[in-house]
Amino acid sequence: MDFKEYVIDKISAVTELPKEQVKNAVEIPPDEKMGDLAFPCFPLAKVMRKAPPLIAKDLAEKLKDDAVFERVEQAGGYLNFFFNKGEFIKETVDAVIKSNGNWGRSDIGSGKTVLLDYSSPNIAKPFHIGHLFSTALGNSLAKIYKYLGYDVQSLNHIGDWGTQFGKLICAYHRWGDAEVIDKDPINELLKIYVKFHDEAKKNPELEDEAREYFKKLEDGDSEATALWQHFRDISLREFKRVYDMLGVEFDSYNGEAFYSDKMQEVVDILREKNLLVESEGAKVVDLSDMNIPPCIILKSDGATIYATRDIAAALYRHRTYNFDKNIYVVGTPQALHFKQIFAVMERAGWEWSKGCEHVGFGLVKLPGKSMSTRNGDVVFLEDVLNEAIEKTRAVIEENDTVKENRDEVAKKIGIGAILYTFLKNSREKDIIFSWDTMLDFEGESAPYCQYSYARGRSILRRAEGIDYKNADLSNITDADAYSLVKQLGAFDNAILSAANKNEPFYINRYVTDLAKLFNKFYNTNPILKDDVDDETKRARLKIVDATCSVIKSALMLLGIETVESM
């Protein structure tokens, strides 16, 4: 039984208000002392011509004999519901166990398509930790939307087109060594790309040469195309290694190049709608009446840019997927870019563009290290991941509690620690990367949540042979058990908030609190001790089982794996 639904039904029956209205009004009180749910009676005062406290008092009187409630109280204009603890625990834990690892799953998204554009690193340009932030967020959002029944498409809009390819080809011809690049493509391509910038400062003609090469590429020159293809292939191979480590998968790797032949149509449409104006030789869409700087569509040399490719991509996505939402998980420094392209699409009269949304995130700061991308002092994703795994491995060696599969455990914990860090705060906040906080097994961290899960699983393993699945929990009324089970009941709320705001941190917060409540519960409720009677033992084991399954689902939604012992 869903207690919230039950309360809504009851209120709606006695007040004759429509259920929807009651549902929107019912609140979770800020303090447990005010009950488990509250109904504010203020909006009723007008219709009923009565003071809210009197209304609340009347309603409390009418509902007080219901066995589902321990009591129903009037406090000011509020009607506060206190659930019958035993009933609540029993019903909720039974429902969690029955869901079989699918607690909180729903089908509200069924029939709707959500596109998530995330990670989207660039070839030739530095590929940095900001892309890892995008990957962590996008991957989690993909899992959240899927859990809610949406059809989700994960799109990796690789930066594989643009003038930097001219620079790269130019640099390659001058300083490139095929063998060296093949061995370590990302570093080596970056090296020659950085060298290009250094050299071009002294010798500006290089810029012209690079433009020539890009022109060749745009015209389909076979040598330039073959090089481009090669750079793309070897870079993608490297990116995929990182994605494998993270357990991230994409449905499409169509990058900017994919849209290079789809831009003329956009230019034609905008021209036809009289939206293109001339500005210093370039063709732009004027957005001054919306207080937005003009969006450049064609540069003065006729070349298209990032924005044009994004507009072509949005149109293509609309036609291909007929999306309900098209979400771009990209750092907040690009907020203006998205504002501009969304405005252009609105101008073009594309109704569907209302489904486009920029989901921004803050900067990642590494203590003591600059994150600048031009001078080559870049921190690479793979190095960061490997460092996390190595550090975890060292902790595991020291603790000596993990006996088997140390490599696998270190990997799941190390990677989990990183993902957790990105999803710990509201996404627009900047992040300071600190190994100590990330790998603090007792703080707010992935290892802490993973440890709580492993601890629960170890209790269940030790209880092998005890049949607890049918245990009756109606006699469990302990306060810590109650707080823990209440948290289990709140999972769907956390998932919905995360999806509504595109903020996985709601789930991060949720699972961290759940782990804390679980720790408190098993510290005050001994489980396998000899002096615990069988009935209580079975009931507590059932709560442990339900909790483990919800911790696992919640971590899964963050992209974090669990381990059975640590």
Residue of 36, 188, 310, 503 interacting with ligand ARG (CB under 6 A): 310
Q: Which is nearer to ligand ARG, 159 or 360 (CB)?
A: 159
Instruction: Given the residues 85, 131, 143, 542, select the one marked as catalytic.
Output: 131
- H helices of 176-261, in order, are 178-183, 185-202, 205-218, 222-246
The pairing of strands 78-83 and 37-40 is antiparallel
Burial of 534 (0-12, 13-18, 19+ CB in 10 A): exposed
Min dist CB 46 to ligand ARG, Å, is: 49
Among 85, 157, 318, 509, binds ligand ARG (CB under 6 A): 157
Nearer to ligand ARG, 132 or 560 (CB): 132
Restricted to residues 329-388, the positions that interact with ligand ARG (CB under 6 A) are 330
Angle at 41 between CA 37 and CA 47, to 5 degrees: 150
Out of 125, 230, 262, 299, the active site residue is 125
Q: How many residues bind ligand ARG (CB under 6 A)?
A: 9
Smallest Cα–Cα separation from 311: which of 277, 289, 280, 284?
284
Name which of 120 and 512 has its Cβ closer to ligand ARG: 120
Contacts of 562 (CB under 8 A, 6+ apart): 412, 450, 453, 454, 551, 552, 555, 556
160 binds ligand ARG (CB under 6 A): no
Contacting ligand ARG (CB under 6 A), which of 159, 355, 360, 559? 159
Instruction: Say how many residues make up the chain.
Output: 566
Minimum distance of ligand ARG from residue 141's CB (angstroms):
14
| Cα–Cα distance, 140 to 238 (Å, whole number) | 22
> Could you say which of 90, 128, 358, 542 is catalytic?
128
Report the residue number, 117 or 188, with the smaller CB distance to ligand ARG.
Answer: 117
Question: Beta 325-329 vs 295-298: how paired, if at all?
Answer: unpaired
Closest CB to ligand ARG among residues 153, 525: 153
Of 220 and 333, the one with the shorter C-beta distance to ligand ARG is 333
Residue 358: partners with Cβ closer than 8 Å, 6 or more residues away? 327, 328, 330, 334, 335, 338, 339, 342
Q: Are 434 and 367 in contact (CB under 8 A)?
A: yes
**Dist CA 5 CA 305 (whole Å):** 52
In the complex, what is the shortest distance from the CB of residue 327 to ligand ARG, in angstroms, rounded to a whole number?
10
Which residues, 6 or more positions from 121, have their beta carbon under 8 angstroms from its beta carbon? Answer: 127, 131, 158, 159, 239
CB nearer to ligand ARG: pick between 84 and 120: 120
Inter-CA distances, 254 with 136, 246, 313, 364, Å: 20, 20, 9, 27
Whether 125 sits among the annotated catalytic residues: the reply is yes
Site string for ligand ARG, 98-127 (x = CB under 6 A): -------------------x--xxx-----
Residue 40 burial (10 A CB sphere; 0-12, 13-18, 19+): middle
Residue nearest to ligand ARG (CB): 159
Question: Is 358 noted as a catalytic residue in this protein?
Answer: no
State the nearest-atom distance from the C-beta of 306 to ligand ARG, in Å: 7
| Shortest CB 122 distance to ligand ARG, Å | 5
Does 157 participate in catalysis according to the annotation? no
Q: How far is the CB of 161 from ligand ARG (least distance, A)?
A: 10
Task: Please give the residue ranges that form the binding site for ligand ARG (CB under 6 A).
Answer: 117, 120-122, 157, 159, 310, 328, 330
User: What are the residue numbers of the active site?
Assistant: 125, 128, 131
